[in-house]
Structure 1
């Protein structure tokens, strides 16, 4: 499923050789604003022009807008409906939830969704179908696939290490206090992490998985939520097919946030991958250590573009060319579908096929 067509003025002028700016609206800021998106937009002033910024706290919107020579808006509807806006960067959801995405869809504006937008709600609300039918560009901010270490690893798979066989991917989060108001946000954060890890593993393998099997460990402070979740993602049957690939994905939120030192103690590699001809350990965003018959190799890719710039460049290119380049709606939908099947697996205590149903 591609990005489809959308009328916009953001394209390379082949006669003048100039990159025309993509006029965007920023909806929400989120925890990634200061360290990822604001620096990226500053560095990419030749590609992006910020028409306005909306935040539920007007003072924050005004402050962010001043940093980009833009203006703050009191209404996301009026900002998105501004005729000069060609696409939106929705970086978090708030009281408005997914409403800005509906407005952008109706107004035929391209959409970039940051990591703090609960995109899982798109399926049940019918938003996925609406975006697909409208043909507007859509991109999820699955940041791991844009990390310099990930891109380098993909090169090594093609040139030195061969096809992946086993993947071990773990994410450690701090647990929140036993407060019902916070427990929902922890579950939401855990699901988002699992969603990104699923996307990351399928991106590395570059194949469609066949089945998933998952287990949850319930949290003592909040029995309705889990403090640890693990799922196995199968590409073929590992019990009968020696060429099958198995990815083990887990996310734990069992360490109290007050134990900050424990959370950071001996962190696991973001992903460990056993390939046909070697073994790789990746530490995001830019370090990887790999082993083959020649021994140990360590690469630090600090000179590569930061993740924020990588993602926004891809989004600009997608809107300008009207072609799906990397993370489009279809891939986002697939990651959401796999996570939903994983939840079914925890309920049935069985391996669940991603093609037909329970195996």
Structure 2
């Protein structure tokens, strides 16, 4: 979309104001997207809203003085819409985004990241051929702690050597409107059908989506794509209560000229805060298999795990002594991240603890980046490529589990 097609500007006349439509309001509407749109009122003008939850839609329509619409097709074909924000998982899957791309509208995708690199190739091609901007919601990249970690890697800590990520899932992580159905053990049916939900399917999709987010997070921190992956789950079932994988990244010296950098285009600097609390410890549940390398090697191993192995009724146990969201061992130190804004790191000088809650919220950063992507003269599809890259890595992990070997991801390219 060219700037000539976007004549609406702020009062200062220095920034394009995008006219947007919202498709679905989702579980993060109140906590992330609504506050971000309120704060970024000088960049976004909400013109139309399509949402199946009537009370929520009425409230949003009144708050943003937008028009309610009866379907996503009616929304994306409006002349007063420049971009579309898909904010909810539903049985429609890619249909709203596909329709928006064909109508020439930019897309912000905060819906399900459960892509299949083969089955969903038509959707990827549709976005690439449309010529519009597309951004996938990858919130961990935009957290203040992640951005500060990238700064420390470039300055104090040096290149990563080992990365550990673990996430405990529970019923509370399931979409709000489906929790009651999961608890009541709803009838088996298609995942996108809200009236018939198989709890095991829900858990499988939650785990896949979380694993994709963690995979992308590791790739972003390292700054390149892995060359191989190996998986070790609790069982071969896709809805296994514990899934883990080990990614091996190329030696930094050999990858320097060919690596495909991951970038959000956002840079945030933070001030250090000094207090003392108990630090986190390495989670021993991660996959331990990785090739032996000498201490001088520049390669990186990332171990990612995700599990729903604690029953939902054991609420106190789920939150007991959770491991750090990410633990990174670098050349000159080690760092521990608790999202969104706590970072503890150690080097030769000792312990440093930083609290970054004063930074802009993650939702604002992501929508701000989307605004830049739409108004920029340079098209950026990195979010789409990165999401499909994470899906391909996860697919390679399933192959590894099935065949009992480390899978070379370069063979899948």
- Please, what TM-score do these two structures have when normalized by structure 2? 0.79
| Alignment partner, residue 36 of structure 2 | 40
- Cα drift, residue 20 of structure 1: 2.4
State how far apart, in whole Å, the 2-side matches of 1:141 and 1:75 are: 23
CA contact (8 A) 1:255 1:263 kept: yes
State how far apart, in whole Å, the 2-side matches of 1:90 and 1:133 are: 19
Q: 1:270 to 1:107 in 2, by over 3 A?
A: same
Q: Which moved more, 1:262-271 or 1:317-326?
A: 317-326
- Cα drift, residue 30 of structure 1: 1.3
Flag structure 1 segments of 5+ consecutive residues without an equivalent. none
The answer to whether residue 71 in structure 2 is matched with residue 75 in structure 1 is: yes
Q: Which moved more, 1:142-151 or 1:60-69?
A: 60-69
Correspondence for 2:130 among 110, 127, 134: 134
State how far apart, in whole Å, the 1-side matches of 2:238 and 2:159 are: 39
Q: Which moved more, 1:274-283 or 1:75-84?
A: 75-84
For 1:1-359, list aligned pairs within 5 A: 9-10=5-6, 17-114=13-110, 116-121=111-116, 123-125=118-120, 126-174=122-170, 177=183, 179=185, 180=188, 181-218=198-235, 225-236=239-250, 238-240=291-293, 242-324=297-379, 327-356=382-411
- The alignment partner of 2:370 has SS state of helix
Q: 1:93 to 1:350 in 2, by over 3 A?
A: same
State how far apart, in whole Å, the 1-side matches of 2:360 and 2:232 are: 37
State how far apart, in whole Å, the 2-side matches of 1:148 and 1:9 are: 34
State how far apart, in whole Å, the 1-side matches of 2:168 and 2:143 are: 19
State how far apart, in whole Å, the 2-side matches of 1:224 and 1:197 are: 17
State how far apart, in whole Å, the 2-side matches of 1:62 and 1:79 are: 16
CA contact (8 A) 2:114 2:205 kept: no
CA contact (8 A) 2:116 2:391 kept: no
State how far apart, in whole Å, the 2-side matches of 1:168 and 1:36 are: 27
* Moved >3 Å (runs of 4+): 5-17, 175-180, 324-327
State how far apart, in whole Å, the 2-side matches of 1:62 and 1:25 are: 15
Which structure dedicates a bigger proportion of its chain to strand?
Answer: 1
State how far apart, in whole Å, the 2-side matches of 1:320 and 1:293 are: 44
Q: 1:70 to 1:27 in 2, by over 3 A?
A: same
Flag structure 2 segments of 5+ consecutive residues without an equivalent. 172-181, 189-197, 252-290
Q: 1:357 to 1:96 in 2, by over 3 A?
A: closer
State how far apart, in whole Å, the 2-side matches of 1:35 and 1:44 are: 15
Aligned Cα RMSD in Å? 2.4
State how far apart, in whole Å, the 2-side matches of 1:236 and 1:318 are: 30
CA contact (8 A) 2:21 2:84 kept: yes
- Cα drift, residue 118 of structure 1: 4.2
CA contact (8 A) 1:58 1:74 kept: no
CA contact (8 A) 1:58 1:73 kept: no
- Please, what TM-score do these two structures have when normalized by structure 1? 0.91
Count how many residue pairs are aligned between Structure 1 and Structure 2. Answer: 350
